[in-house]
Amino acid sequence: MTTDTLDNPARFGSGRAVKRIEDEGLLKGKGQYTDDLAPAGQLRAVFVRSPYPHARIASIDKANAQALPGVVKIVTGADLVQAGVQPIPSNPAFRRGDGSPMATAPRRALAHERVRYVGEPVALVVAQSLQQARDAAEALGVEYEELPHVVDLEAATSPGAPVICEQAPDNVAAEMRIGDAQKAAAAFAQAAHVVQLTVVNQRVAALTVEPRSVLAWVAEDGRLTVRLSSQMPSGVKGSLANDVLGIGPDKVRVTVGDVGGGFGMKTGIYPEDAAVSWAAWTLKQPVKWIADRSEEFLSSFHGRDQRAQAELALAADGRILALRLRTLANVGAYATATGMVIPMVVGPWVQTSVYDVPLVDFQIRCVMTNTASTAAYRGAGRPEAIFIMERLMDEAARQTGIDRITLRRRNFIRPEQMPYTNPLGQVYDVGAFEKIMDEGLDLADWSGFEARYAQSKAQGKLRGLGISTFLEWTSGNVFEERVTVEVRADGMIEVFSAVNQMGQGIATTLAQLVVDVFGVPIEKVRVVLGDTDRGEGFGSAGSRSLFTGGSALHLGAEKTLDTARQLAAKSLEAAAADLEYAAGRFTVKGTDLGIDLFELAGKQPDGHIFTDHTSAVAGPSWPNGCHVSEVEIDPQTGAVQVVRYSSVNDVGRVVNPMIVRGQLDGGAVQGIGQALMEHMVYDVDSGQPVTGTLMDYAAPRADAIACEFVTEMNETVPCKNNPLGVKGVGELGTIGAAPSIVNAVADAVARAGKPEAAPLLQMPLTAPKLWEILQD
pLDDT tens-place string over residues 562-575: 999 999 999 999 99
The mean-pLDDT minimum among 65-69, 402-406, 526-530 falls in 526-530
Q: What is the pLDDT of residue 92?
A: 79
Question: With 0-12 CB in 10 A as exposed, 13-18 as middle and 19+ as buried, what is 69?
Answer: exposed
pLDDT tens digits for range 167-221: 999 999 999 999 999 999 999 999 999 999 999 999 999 999 999 999 999 999 9
Residue type, 638: G
Backbone angles phi, psi at 131, to 5 degrees: -65, -40
Residue 14 has pLDDT above 50, yes or no: yes
Q: What is the pLDDT of residue 4?
A: 43
Is residue 62 within 8 A of residue 74, CB to CB? The reply is yes
Is residue 647 within 8 A of residue 627, CB to CB? The reply is yes
Residue 523 has pLDDT above 90, yes or no: yes
Q: What percent of the chain has pLDDT over 70?
A: 99
CA distance 431 to 727: 11
CA distance 613 to 608: 16
- How high does pLDDT run on average in the chain? 95
pLDDT tens digits for range 665-714: 999 999 999 999 999 999 999 999 999 999 999 999 888 788 999 999 99
Mean pLDDT of 380-391: 97
CA atoms within 13 Å, Cβ hemisphere of 683:
11
Q: What is the pLDDT of residue 10?
A: 66
pLDDT tens digits for range 554-601: 999 999 999 999 999 999 999 999 999 999 999 999 999 999 999 999
Residue 419 has pLDDT above 80, yes or no: yes
Rg (CA), the chain: 28
Say how many Å lie between the first and final Cα of the chain, rounded: 68
Domains of the chain, CATH where assigned: 9-30+476-616 (3.30.365.10), 34-147+207-299 (3.90.1170.50), 149-206+302-410 (3.30.365.10), 429-474+621-776 (3.30.365.10)
pLDDT tens digits for range 595-642: 999 999 999 999 999 999 999 899 999 999 999 999 999 999 999 999
Q: What is the pLDDT of residue 548?
A: 87
Residue 282 has pLDDT above 50, yes or no: yes
Strands laid side by side in the 193-205 sheet: 172-179, 360-368, 320-332, 302-314, 193-205
CA distance 374 to 369: 11
Q: What is the pLDDT of residue 7?
A: 55
Q: What is the pLDDT of residue 2?
A: 39
